[in-house]
Amino acid sequence: MKIEKSIVPSTKGDITLFTLTNASGAKVTLSSLGAGIVSVVVPDINGHMDDIVLGYANAADYFYDGPCAGKVPGRYANRIAKGHFTIDGKEYTLAINNGPNALHGGPEGFQNRIWDATAEGNTVTFSRTSPDGEEGYPGTMEVKATYTWSDDNKLTLHITATTDAKTVVNLTNHAYWNLEGHNAGSALDHTMWLGCSKYLPTDDTLIPSGEMAPVAGTPMDFTTPKRVGEEIKADFPALNYGKGYDNCWVVDGWSKGKMQHVATLTSQPSGRVLEVSTTQPAAQVYTGNWLAGSPANKSGRSYDDYDGIAIECQSMPDSPNHSNFPSTLLAPGETYDQTIEFAFKTK
């Protein structure tokens, strides 16, 4: 495994980029800004290499980007209703930055911080200390996001966190995929399978009602592979609210610490396949409904809506306010410990 390191200055400090190239020449580039994935170059069915993760030309353009492209949002990925949650009777208040709700840990969330970074062998580890009270969250939290790139084209993300006071935590990766190449245009012709027979209905601000509803008979059903865009314009509440898919699916058969295959994304022309496995209880699928206006991409243009698909393995949105969802509470002496694996193949 070959590791190359480069430094890009920014107004908020130096951004460190690491490129890991495996024996076959496939490679990933990772950034200390938001512990992000900024490039994944893998072969198609004919061996042609292309970059299949959406990203920007300028490493500093990842600061405060609306799409949160490729990064690890936190302390709490996804939404918390009206920016309020309670621990042991004490209410905590967060910044409102998504309609009436808190999103992705707030304006200065983990995704907009430069993390410490080390690299060794086929692994890059990003780490940071989130101080007590940062963005309104209690407890000083120590976080690590460790990426490992293998010779068989698997990118594994292992995220751990500890705290010195009770807090809530929900961490994921927000990469957008287009298996034809990051600049290929709409990804709605990709085929997707989800190992999820239930999803979370929401209100029009995308806050879950608390129900876990069957996908059967609805446009939310991907238990049999289908084209992502096949029903995206259906007159259905979840699709009307978000101008496409921006919803959370419940992983079938989930139990704490159990690694399982939860999603497969396939694109017929290139023959590329992305298999996603995780220990997380849910997967938020977002079809890039609001990508237009993003910073200039690696080919010099702004992406259009639906140019990429994010499969964000995570805990459920607004979990602190729903006792029937898997708990996102982290207490002193405990370790938040989750893994997401992206396996790139061809068929």
In this prediction the pTM is: 0.98
**Structural contact between residues 106 and 135, judged by C-beta atoms closer than 8 angstroms:** yes
pLDDT at 17: 98
Tens digit of each residue's pLDDT (9 = 90 or more) over 110-155 = 999 999 999 999 999 999 999 999 999 999 999 999 999 999 999 9
Q: Which residues of the chain have pLDDT under 50?
A: none
Catalytic residues: 174, 312
- Does the domain at residues 2-346 carry the CATH identifier 3.40.630.30? no
**Structural contact between residues 98 and 161, judged by C-beta atoms closer than 8 angstroms:** no
pLDDT at 240: 96
pLDDT at 137: 98
pLDDT at 327: 98
pLDDT at 93: 98
Burial of 88 (0-12, 13-18, 19+ CB in 10 A): exposed
pLDDT at 113: 98
pLDDT at 343: 99
Look up residue 90 and give its amino acid: K
In SS3 terms, the chain reads as: CEEEEEEECCCCCCEEEEEEECCCCCEEEEECECCEEEEEEEECCCCCEEECECCECCHHHHCCCCCCCCCCCCCECCEEHHHEEEECCEEEECCCCECCEEECCCCCCHHHCECEEEEECCEEEEEEEECCCHHHCCCCEEEEEEEEECCCCEEEEEEEEEECCCEECECCCCCEECCCCCCCCCCCCCEEEECCCEECCECCCCCECCCCEECCCCCCCCCCCEECCCCCCCCCHHHHHHCCCEEEEECCCCCCCCCEEEEEEECCCCCEEEEEEECCCEEEEECCCCCCCCCCECCCCCCCCCCCEEEEEECCCCHHHCCCCCCCEECCCCCEEEEEEEEEEEC
